[in-house]
Amino acid sequence: MTEKFETKLDFARFLAVEAGTLARELYKNKDKDFVSVKGLQDFVTIADRKVEQRIRALIKEYYPSDAVLGEEEGQSGQSEAIWVVDPIDGTANYMRGLPDWAVSIAYCENEEIMLGAIYAPDRDELCWAAKDQGAFCNGFAIEVSNCSQPDQAVLLLGRSSRKPLQEYLDIVQHTVDANMEYRRNGSAAVSLMWVAQGRAEGYYEAHLNAWDALAGVLIIREAGGLVRSQPVAETLKNGSEILAIVPELERITVDTIMHQDFVA
């Protein structure tokens, strides 16, 4: 890895921990106006906005020519170098004091994911990866599960508000029909991190935004997993369907869960 990317990886990890620490402090000092409703079961907290503002300020200080794409404030700047950030992924968990939420930081160049860091503060777990350098959590190398049997596998599922409820329920039924167990934890970033750590064999969601997905996509690939999604350029614009899966279960998941013809 070049010195430039080593420095930016250090910065990505710093950003994730700094943001997660701030989010925890803000939660401890929350008041009655802490949570606002964006839509049906869609919430934003004061912390979401303040944490993203802090991330943006730090990027502007250290890398002023880089662009930033974030959940709360959209994109600022135009550059082939872009930071893609979700200040709090799993806001509904965070605002209720549940531990499954995370800060997600990805860095892309020329429409390729180069760096990713995910920090789950309440679990004190920091996972990261750099392209072609492997994946790590709290300083230790991580790998995806080597499970090859559907009836021993756990598939994590996310539900996109952009898709009909019945579509999600159909995916649940397909998962059961494939003899897989399933879970839903309410955070795409945490789910992707769990797949990279070998805690689950896969994760599927019909639509994720770039800030939810890109850091975890790189971490899973560097941990030995497979990810089916749109190209980075398309994901940055419109989001993507995401399937992250261990290699041994890719075919059955594509055929049975996604109901698509498998193409290697």
Angle between helices 188-197 and 210-222 (to 10 degrees): 0
For residue 18, pLDDT over 50 is answered with yes
Average pLDDT score, the chain: 92
72 pLDDT tier (thresholds 50, 70, 90)? confident
| Average pLDDT of the residues in 29-35 | 70
Return the closest-CA partner of residue 186 out of 245, 259, 243, 101: 101
Q: What is the pLDDT of residues 150-172, one digit of tens each?
A: 999 999 999 988 888 999 999 99
> Residue 37 has what pLDDT?
59
Among 3.40.50.12140, 3.40.190.80, 3.40.50.300, 3.40.50.1100, name the CATH number for the domain at 150-257.
Answer: 3.40.190.80
The residue ranking higher by pLDDT, 32 or 136, is: 136
38 pLDDT tier (thresholds 50, 70, 90)? low
Angle between helices 46-62 and 3-28 (to 10 degrees): 150
Question: Would you state the structure tokens that stand for residue 15, as one six-digit string?
Answer: 């950003």
Domain parsing of the chain, residue ranges: 3-140, 150-257
Measure the CA–CA gap between 127 and 143, rounded to whole angstroms. 12
Return the closest-CA partner of residue 254 out of 236, 237, 242: 242
For residue 40, pLDDT over 70 is answered with no
CATH architecture for the domain at 3-140: 2-Layer Sandwich (3.30)
| Average pLDDT of the residues in 111-135 | 98
> Residue 219 has what pLDDT?
99
For residue 102, pLDDT over 90 is answered with yes
Strand spans (E) along 2-80: 35-39, 42-45, 67-70, 74-76
Measure the CA–CA gap between 101 and 91, rounded to whole angstroms. 7
| Average pLDDT of the residues in 135-142 | 98
Q: For strand 140-141 and strand 135-137, is the pairing parallel, antiparallel, or unpaired?
A: antiparallel
For residue 39, pLDDT over 60 is answered with no
For residue 199, pLDDT over 60 is answered with yes
Measure the CA–CA gap between 129 and 143, rounded to whole angstroms. 12
Within 13 A of 78's CA, how many CA atoms are on the CB side?
0
> Residue 260 has what pLDDT?
63
> Residue 41 has what pLDDT?
46
> Residue 255 has what pLDDT?
85
For residue 61, pLDDT over 80 is answered with yes
| Average pLDDT of the residues in 1-6 | 89
Q: What is the pLDDT of residues 229-259, one digit of tens each?
A: 999 999 999 999 999 999 999 998 988 877 6
Secondary structure class of 231 (helix, strand, coil): coil
Query: Count of CB atoms within 10 A of residue 63's CB?
Result: 18
Measure the CA–CA gap between 8 and 6, rounded to whole angstroms. 5
- Report the share of the chain in percent with pLDDT over 70: 92
The residue ranking higher by pLDDT, 255 or 102, is: 102
Question: Would you state the structure tokens that stand for residue 121, as one six-digit string?
Answer: 């503060």
| Average pLDDT of the residues in 69-89 | 93
| Average pLDDT of the residues in 174-201 | 96
